[in-house]
Every structure is written in structure tokens, then in C-alpha cells.
């Protein structure tokens, strides 16, 4: 290669490098340029250096000198671009920022009282041998009513008492609703598992009630279900009492009184005593043979009990909360007390 050609090759390389470095607007762009021109492996300067071998022997000293000169020029252009970018970053720094000031304290979050209650209920029932199950909050007719022995014309299905969805289940055509009770989970569990069964299910339920001190259109229930041979009402009373004394205290007074639910026979309502009054904490009873049949169990060989307790009421009694709405307005000054 002729000296002249080699020199002009180097000069256009230098121009290109200068342009790339002066155009760089970020560290990344500058680094791309560095790799392209000064890269130790495949950099363009490196490639130019290789051409030196093909220059006439007599021209080599001059060519070598030129190469060094260009190399220095490219490196200088790189350094210049680098300090230009560093200065730009420093100019951007907020001068009022004092890194030696102590930081702002971080306020610790905490679990919502209902979440705390749920955790504790799971714990107590777990020690009594009940495992946890879950079910969907959007339910179909079968699980919320039909399988629970609540027939077509039953007033419990009234659209005024339930949050029906505007759309039905696409496959079955069944109406859908926000579940009004966790008893739906009883059916889901029994449909999928043979007896014996000992489960609880904790979750949200929805009813179009006007909010007041004791009502809210969404609340939580703890459903319990135990199925085995020879399960009796005595077992139900024992579990309810053990549960109440564990959660509310040894001295809590509870009572059960006759009631009616389509899915239990006999049915009871369980109350505890608070502030001079009996307060209902849930419904319960022996699982109705019709329900056992609807999930394919044989009512002649197995029996069982079920209960559904209001989680908010338990939590309120425990913490002396007098208005259920306080639990859901998310006023942090209220929530921070728990």
C-alpha cells in the first residue's frame, strides 16, 4: 500500500471518530464509539494498524509516525467527550440536596385487623384439625343455591337480596352472582373429595345491605364443615365452644338456639354474650341429607355438621369496635391501632 493511501485512510478514520465522540449524548453512546474506534479486538484503529504491514518498507517509519499521531488524536477526542458528559451530569445535580442529612423515618405498615383475625381463626381451627379451603367469589346458581337445597322459588334467591352479575356462565348458562355465603365452598369441597372431611373456608361474601353500624354490603365468613361416620350435634357444640373460648376468652358465654337454614337439619344460631346482650355470631347445623345427596354422598353412611360465622363480628367483639364501617374506610389513624 502506498504511503499516501495509508495516510488518507488514517485521516478519514480520525474524522469519523471525532464526529462520533462529539455527537455522543450519553455514556452508552460514548462507549459504543469507544468500542467501534478504540476497541482492542475489532476496533477500527486496530484494523488500520494491520495495514501498516502492507506499506513499502522505506515508507514504514513515516507511516508509523502518522499512526501514532492519529491514535493520540482519537484518544484525546475520546477523553474530551468523556469529560464533557461527566460535567453535564454534575451540572444536573441538585445543589440543595444534602446527603449528610438524616433520612425520613419509614412508617411500618401492618396487617388489617380483619386479616389478623383471619390468621388467628385459621390458627385456632388448625389446632382443632381443620384444614383450609378456598372458593371463588363469583359463584353460579348451583353452588350458591341449588346444591344447598335452596330451590328455584326460594326467597333467598331474590335479586334484591343478591348481587347478580349481568352475564351468565358461558358454558352452563347458569346465572352468576357474588357469593352471598361461604357455604358454596362446602359443595365445592364435597364434590371433589370423598369423606371424611374437616375443613374451614374464610373469605368475602356480598349482600346488598345498606351500610350501618353492624351491616356492610361486603363482609367475611368462616365456614366450617365436618363429615364423617357418626358426627353428631354434640360434636358441633364442642367445636363451637372450643372455638369461642379460644378466640374470645375462657369466660365467654355462648348459647345455641333453634333456627332454620335450607342446608342444615336441625339448624341452630349461635350467640355470645357481650355488653349485656346476646349477639349472634353465626348459623350452624347438621348437614341436610339432601345436600349430602346432591354431592353424591350417602346420607345413610355419613353425617356431618356445618357452620358459618361472621368474621367482622368476632373481630369487633375482640377489639371493642362498635362500627363495622370503621373497618373499611381505611382511615390509617384507626388501622394503626391494631
Q: Which stretch binds ligand PHE (CB under 6 A): 75-83, 113-121, 305-313, 316-324?
A: 305-313
Grouping H, G, I as helix, E, B as strand and the rest as coil, residue 68 is helix
Min. distance of Cβ 307 from ligand PHE in angstroms?
5
> Angle at the Cα of 229 (from 224 to 231), degrees rounded to 5?
45
- Distance from C-alpha of 51 to C-alpha of 53, rounded to nearest angstrom: 5
Of 10, 24, 226, 284, the one binding ligand PHE by CB under 6 A:
284
> Angle at the Cα of 257 (from 251 to 293), degrees rounded to 5?
115
Which residue is it, cell 405498615? Answer: 109
Dihedral sign for Cα 18, 20, 24, 30, please. Answer: negative
Q: Which is nearer to ligand PHE, 81 or 306 (CB)?
A: 306
For position 38 contacting ligand PHE by CB under 6 A, the verdict is no
Min. distance of Cβ 166 from ligand PHE in angstroms?
24
Q: Which stretch binds ligand PHE (CB under 6 A): 104-112, 170-178, 250-258, 281-289?
A: 281-289
Grouping H, G, I as helix, E, B as strand and the rest as coil, residue 118 is helix
Of 117, 283, 303, 324, the one binding ligand PHE by CB under 6 A:
283
Q: Which residue is nearest to ligand PHE (CB)?
A: 308
Of 121, 307, 314, 324, the one binding ligand PHE by CB under 6 A:
307
- Distance from C-alpha of 313 to C-alpha of 318, rounded to nearest angstrom: 8
How big is the site for ligand PHE, counted in residues (CB under 6 A)? Answer: 10
Q: Which is nearer to ligand PHE, 55 or 287 (CB)?
A: 287
| Footprint (CB under 6 A) of ligand PHE, residues 163-182 | 181
C-alpha pair distances (Å), 161 with each of 59, 137, 208: 100, 16, 6
Min. distance of Cβ 332 from ligand PHE in angstroms?
31
Min. distance of Cβ 117 from ligand PHE in angstroms?
17
Min. distance of Cβ 338 from ligand PHE in angstroms?
26
Q: Of 212, 216, 209, 196, whose CA–CA distance to 162 is shortest?
A: 209
The beta strand positions in the chain, using DSSP E, are: 131-132, 138-140, 163-164, 176-178, 197-206, 218-228, 254-261, 264-274, 277-287, 303-310
> 205: exposed, middle or buried (C-beta count within 10 Å: 0-12, 13-18, 19+)?
buried
Q: Which is nearer to ligand PHE, 117 or 264 (CB)?
A: 264
For position 130 contacting ligand PHE by CB under 6 A, the verdict is no
Would you say how long the chain is, in residues? 338
For position 226 contacting ligand PHE by CB under 6 A, the verdict is no
Min. distance of Cβ 319 from ligand PHE in angstroms?
23
Site string for ligand PHE, 180-219 (x = CB under 6 A): -x-x------------------------------------
Binding site for ligand PHE (CB under 6 A): 181, 183, 261, 264, 283-285, 306-308
Amino acid at each position: 500500500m502506498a504511503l499516501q493511501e495509508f495516510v488518507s485512510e488514517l485521516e478519514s478514520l480520525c474524522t469519523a471518530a471525532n464526529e462520533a465522540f462529539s455527537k455522543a449524548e450519553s455514556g452508552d453512546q460514548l462507549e459504543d464509539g469507544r468500542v467501534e474506534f478504540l476497541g482492542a479486538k475489532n476496533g477500527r484503529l486496530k484494523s488500520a494498524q494491520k495495514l501498516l504491514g502492507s506499506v513499502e518498507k522505506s515508507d514504514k517509519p513515516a507511516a508509523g509516525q502518522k499512526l501514532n499521531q492519529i491514535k493520540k488524536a482519537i484518544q484525546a477526542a475520546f477523553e474530551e467527550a468523556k469529560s464533557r458528559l461527566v460535567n453535564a451530569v454534575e451540572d444536573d445535580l441538585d445543589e440543595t440536596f444534602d446527603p449528610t442529612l438524616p433520612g425520613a423515618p419509614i412508617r411500618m405498615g401492618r396487617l388489617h385487623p380483619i386479616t389478623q383475625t383471619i390468621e388467628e381463626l385459621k390458627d385456632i381451627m388448625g389446632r382443632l384439625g381443620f384444614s383450609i379451603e378456598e372458593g371463588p367469589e363469583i359463584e353460579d346458581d348451583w353452588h350458591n343455591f341449588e346444591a344447598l337445597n335452596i330451590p328455584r322459588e326460594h326467597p333467598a334467591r331474590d335479586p334484591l337480596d343478591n348481587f347478580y352479575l349481568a352475564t351468565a356462565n358461558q358454558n352452563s348458562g347458569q346465572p352468576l352472582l357474588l357469593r352471598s355465603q361461604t357455604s358454596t365452598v362446602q359443595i365445592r369441597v364435597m364434590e371433589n373429595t370423598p369423606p371424611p372431611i374437616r375443613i374451614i373456608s374464610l373469605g368475602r361474601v356480598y349482600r346488598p345491605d345498606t351500610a350501618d353500624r353492624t351491616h356492610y354490603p361486603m363482609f367475611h365468613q368462616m365456614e366450617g364443615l365436618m363429615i364423617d361416620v357418626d358426627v353428631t350435634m354434640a360434636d358441633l357444640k364442642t367445636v363451637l365452644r372450643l372455638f369461642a373460648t379460644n378466640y374470645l376468652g375462657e369466660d365467654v358465654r355462648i348459647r345455641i338456639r333453634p333456627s332454620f337454614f335450607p342446608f342444615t337439619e336441625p339448624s341452630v344460631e349461635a350467640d355470645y354474650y357481650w355488653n349485656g346482650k346476646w349477639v349472634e355470631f353465626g348459623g350452624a347445623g347438621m348437614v341436610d341429607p339432601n345436600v349430602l345427596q346432591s354431592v353424591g354422598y350417602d346420607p345413610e353412611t355419613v353425617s356431618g355438621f356445618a357452620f358459618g360465622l361472621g368474621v367482622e363480628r368476632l373481630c369487633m367483639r375482640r377489639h371493642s369496635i362498635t362500627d363495622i364501617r370503621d373497618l373499611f374506610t381505611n382511615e390509617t389513624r384507626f388501622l394503626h391501632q391494631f
